[in-house]
Amino acid sequence: MNLAIYKNEYFIIKRYRDGIGIQYEYRINGKPTHKKLIGLVKGWRKDMFLKALSYFRVKEEEDEFERMVRIKLYIQLLPTIEDRMVAYKLINFLDEMPFEELTFWNWKFTQMKKDAIRGFKAMYRDQLEA
């Protein structure tokens, strides 16, 4: 499934042998010039990610930037979550998060992935584990 948010930028949801992931592609004249794996989940996290896709109503081809940021943050946070209930709460939490916070965390996750994930989980621990 190819999801475009800008003219040349795509997030591709790919199925792998034992998991599912999101790959970022930058294309010029329809040909990929830059590719990067954003996130990969396996096992029960794969099922949770598929539920998140349907929850956020992700469509093929073009989609909203805001919706794609929610999916991107979810797949980056999901491997660090140990409990299914927290994973369910994270879907709802990201869905209710204001656009300004989403873009802030998207920028943070892009700049400093592991530190940003730790910061996100520390900042929102009470809402996710309550």
Domain boundaries, the chain: 2-129
Structure tokens at 113: 């992935």
The answer to whether the pTM exceeds 0.85 is no
**pLDDT 10s per residue in the chain (130 long)?**
555 556 778 888 888 888 999 888 888 888 889 998 888 999 999 999 988 888 887 655 555 777 888 888 999 999 999 989 999 999 999 989 998 999 899 899 988 888 999 999 999 988 888 6
